[in-house]
Chains A and B, each alone.
Chain A
Amino acid sequence: MARKKKEGSGLNIPDAPFRPGEEAIFETWSWKPGDLERPDPTKCTAEDTVPHAQGLVRVLGDNDKASGAWNPKLNADELREGLEHMVRLRIFDDRMMKMQRTGKLSFYMRSFGEECVAIAQTMALETQDWIFPSYRQPGAQFVRGRDMVSMICHCLGNVEDNIKGRQMPVHYSYRDGRFISISSPVGTQFSQAVGVAMASQYKKLDEVTITWIGDGASAEGDYHYALNFASIFKAPVILNVVNNQWAISTHANFATASGEFATRGLPYGLASIRVDGNDFLALYAVTKWARERAASGSGATHIEVLTYRAGAHSSSDDPSRYRSSDEHTKWPGGDPIERLRDHLIEIGEWSAKRQSGLEDRIDSEVMSAYKEAVKYGDLANGPYPEADTIFTEVYEEMPWHLKEQFDEVMEG
């Protein structure tokens, strides 16, 4: 059969909005704080959240004031705590990246520009709730009280690394904080988190699980498994898509042709909300709402956290090769730390002087934690975990074939 040809260019290939050498011009947001109602989380249906999925929940306005139905009305101490954790994460990240450059750790990934995400959201949870993160939510550990020295020891892969040098840096596991072990294959945690939540539900425990996936990784099957299972079993889970616009060099236009993520939850029957991911108050409020919904037995919430990956994907990446260099400074959502700081100043609870005092204090906190951690070794100089850590905990008990190999290494 002869096959007829059509006119046209053939395959449709999307592109990123701005490439190197081009000026980044984002449309200004028409969404304002106060636009959206706050429905009753225990009663509302997925359909009731259509405006929230299509709009954007904001609390902090351009005037640095908090307003609207979603204002969580946190007190100044709580706001300062959030600010402190975000500053801690940024300074911590910068220090680790510097140390990566000197070879003390093999690899690093910063949360730059997205510090708010895990910090505001974890603060909105209860301590018994489970955290099932990707590599860009390490900040949750600060909220859960993890010792910074121990975090650095993991990144250095030294003898005090609680995961024994087995995984690359940033693949934290922190059981005391109910922060579940991070795995490199992207997206897997998203549907696993639904299972964690189903177990809580089965055991009738007052526990909620929160998890995150990137815009890029939302193209994996695991994303869709998660939404479907969560919806069918009404699992007490909070499903966040962190839309930071980029997946390494691949723009979010390759993850969805619709330009939206939040609305994808609606046809699954999930309450769905898009939130300004650099607005600490909005993110806190939406997460609190989702927790209340999950805990009440009304099921999962699907949240698009709208933000921007301000830094390189990782220490191996050079974004100047694929995106416009001024993009992150033009992001309409601004910088999450500056926005919360300016809000605190606006309400008379903070000052530029206190901010620089905070930064100095955290800087020395991070430096002294680093100095202590490096005493236990680093990647450039050792000492490293013993070779026996290769063989232990592969199984609960070491089978004979592995024991033979283990003996070979220990004797050799």
Chain B
Amino acid sequence: MANMNMIQSLNNALDIMLERDDDVIVYGEDVGYFGGVFRTTDGLQAKHGAHRVFDSPLSEGGILATAFGMGINGLRPVVEIQFADYIFPAYDQIVNELAKIRHRSGGEYWSPVTVRTPAGGGIRGGHHHSQSPESQFTHTPGLKVVYCSTPYNAKGLLISAVECNDPVIFFEPKRCYRGPFYGDPHNVLTWEGHPEAEVPESHYTVPLGEARLVMEGGECTVIAWGAMVHVSEQAIRDSGVSCDLIDLQTLVPWDRDTVVNSIEKTGRCVIVHEAPKTSGFGAEMAASVQERCFYHLESPIQRVTGWDAPFPHTTEWDYMPGPTRIAAAIRKTQEG
């Protein structure tokens, strides 16, 4: 076991996979010599060679197209899109190509690409360094969608993603790279001493499709992913309501049993995400919860999300869901 922040645990996961499997290849903008603008691939080129960890041209469409091609020819590319906001030049390659190749070829071809990308707000990144576009991928059949939240699950999920033969879009909450984020922008924390930062140095997996029960309680179920897991934890404490907190971890396929069991127990549900409300993945969760748990529900499902507006720079704390809004939603589920 070692104490690692999320950058280190992701780096460690890549290191292990490069070591274990010659077909793993890591590339993206600035990931090679420099080791990535967030330092996630630091040292990997020196250790594994420039033919396995390298810089790419500044071309997200090119990165995804070549990864697709490498994947169908037997490699296991792990590519980085420098910010999730910059994934859109590659959107066609992901949505129309990568996601559909297995199906469209009658199972003759597949491409096990992992796309790592830092996402979410909280770093004063304005419109284009803050977005959390998970629902733009959960809406595409053929993709698995993962959102890690701690050093421990980041490593285990990334290894699972790389080993998975389906394409995986892997979101990393950049605000949590170096410490958990409980919603107070002025309180900059490190992962030091956090139990979820105790990370085994060897290979392990956190299976895709399994959620993590972060807190247990009886009165409400809070479902979140990414940085919002920690913000929700704070909100639950503030609310004084006893809650199950579910860190979804994998959005597609999401963990039906954990969610359904919890809501059958609590009868109340709050869903939290950073992305805008309309057509966010919270809408999918809310619809599924009412389909499966309607007769157990005792109050309307609440969603706490980013607003239906572009992510702002200066006023980002008025945009991102914080403990106050989440706690209010939790309390609201207790009315009536």
Nearest CB to that of B314 among chain A residues?
Answer: A165
A247 to B88, CA, bound (A): 19
Partner of B50, one of A13, A161, A321: A13
Contact A221–B89 (Cβ < 8 Å): yes
Q: Which 7 A-B pairs have the closest CB atoms?
A: A165-B314, A249-B34, A184-B128, A219-B57, A157-B314, A387-B318, A106-B124
A167–B33 touching, CB < 8 Å = no
A217 cross-chain contacts in B, Cβ below 8 A: 58
Least CB distance, A311 to chain B, in whole angstroms: 16
Extra contacts, 14 of them, besides A11-B54, A167-B128, A184-B128 (Cβ < 8 A), are: A13-B51, A13-B54, A157-B313, A166-B314, A185-B89, A187-B58, A221-B61, A250-B55, A254-B56, A255-B57, A384-B314, A387-B318, A389-B315, A405-B308
Please, which residue of chain B has its CB at the minimum distance from the CB of A188? Answer: B89
Give every chain A residue within 8 A of B61 (Cβ-Cβ).
Answer: 220-221
* Chain B residues, CB < 8 A from A412: 324-325
B124: chain A residues within 8 A (beta carbon): 106-107, 168, 379
Contact B51 A9 (CB under 8 A): yes
Q: Does A401 contact B (CB under 8 A)?
A: yes
- Nearest B-chain residue to A183, judged by Cβ: B128
Contact A221/B59 with A19-B33, A249-B34, A401-B308 known, Cβ cut-off 8 Å = yes
Per-residue 0/1 for B74-108: is the Cβ within 8 Å of any A Cβ (1 yes, 0 no)? Answer: 00000000000110110000000000000000000
Among residues of B, the one whose C-beta sits closest to the C-beta of A401 is: B308
User: A391 and B59 in contact (CB under 8 A), knowing A167-B126, A248-B29, A384-B315?
Assistant: no
Q: Give chain A's interface secondary structure class.
A: loop
List CB contacts (< 8 Å) of B21-38 with chain A. Answer: 29-30, 32-34, 37
Q: Which residues of A contact B308 (CB under 8 A)?
A: 394, 401-402, 405
Q: Which residues of B contact A219 (CB under 8 A)?
A: 57-59, 62
Write the chain B residue with the least CB distance to A159: B314
Are B315 and A184 in contact, CB atoms less than 8 angstroms apart?
A: no
Whole-angstrom CA separation of A148 from B85 in the bound complex: 30
List the interface of chain A (C-beta within 8 A of B): 9-11, 13, 15-16, 19, 106-107, 157-158, 161, 164-168, 171, 183-187, 214, 216-217, 219-221, 247-250, 254-255, 316-317, 321-322, 379, 384-387, 389-391, 394, 401-402, 405, 409, 412
Interface residues in chain B, defined as those with a beta carbon under 8 Å from any beta carbon in chain A: 29-30, 32-34, 37, 50-51, 54-62, 85-86, 88-89, 124-129, 277-278, 307-310, 312-315, 318-319, 324-325
- In whole Å, how far is B318's beta carbon from the nearest beta carbon of chain A? 4
State how many angstroms separate the Cβ of B221 from the closest Cβ of chain A.
Answer: 23
In the complex the two chains form, what is the Cα distance from A185 to B126 in whole Å?
A: 12
Q: Which residues of B contact A248 (CB under 8 A)?
A: 29-30, 34, 37
| A386: B residues at CB distance < 8 A | 315
Closest B residue to A399 by CB, please name it: B308
Q: Which residues of B contact A183 (CB under 8 A)?
A: 127-128
> A394 to chain B: which residues have CB within 8 Å?
308-310
Most buried by B among A19, A164, A185, A390: A390
> Among the listed A10, A19, A106, A401, which residue makes an inter-chain contact with B313, where contact means beta carbons less than 8 Å apart?
A106
With a cutoff of 8 Å between Cβ atoms, the chain A residues found around residue B277 in the complex are: 405
Across-interface contacts of B128 in A (CB, < 8 A): 167-168, 183-185
Interface pairs (6), CB distance under 8 Å: A13-B32, A254-B56, A390-B315, A391-B307, A394-B309, A405-B309
Q: Determine whether the beta carbon of B314 is less than 8 Å from that of A184.
A: no
The answer to whether B313 and A166 touch across the interface, beta carbons within 8 angstroms, is yes
Quote the shortest CB–CB distance from B65 to chain A (angstroms).
10
Q: Are A10 and B51 in contact (CB under 8 A)?
A: yes
Chain B nearest CB from A367 CB (Å) reads 23
- Nearest chain B CB to A411 CB, angstrom units: 12
Q: Please, how many angstroms separate the alpha-carbon atoms of A394 and B319 in the complex?
A: 14
Measured between beta carbons, the chain B residues less than 8 angstroms from A168 are 124-129, 313
Q: Are B30 and A250 in contact (CB under 8 A)?
A: yes
> Taking the nearest CB of chain A, how far is it from the CB of B63, in angstroms?
10
Could you say which residues of chain A place their CB within 8 Å of the CB of B50?
A: 13, 15
Q: What is the CA–CA distance of A317 and B82 in the complex, to the nearest angstrom?
A: 14
Interface centre among B51, B58, B129, B310 (most CB of A within 10 A): B58
Whether the Cβ atoms of B312 and A166 lie closer than 8 Å is yes
Q: Which residues of B contact A249 (CB under 8 A)?
A: 30, 33-34, 55
CB distance from A254 to the nearest CB of B (A): 5
Q: A154 to nearest B CB, angstroms?
A: 10
Residues in B with CB closer than 8 Å to A316 are 37
Q: How far is the CA of A185 from the CA of B125 in the complex (A)?
A: 13
> How distant is the Cα of A106 from the Cα of B185 in the complex, in angstroms?
13
B124 to chain A, nearest CB (A): 4
Measured CB to CB, the closest approach of chain A to B75, in angstroms, equals 11
* A247 contacts B58, C-beta separation under 8 Å: yes
Distance in angstroms from A163 CB to nearest chain B CB is: 9
Task: Decide if B319 touches A390 in the complex (CB within 8 Å).
Answer: yes
In the complex with contacts A168-B125, A394-B310, A185-B85 CB distance below 8 A:
yes
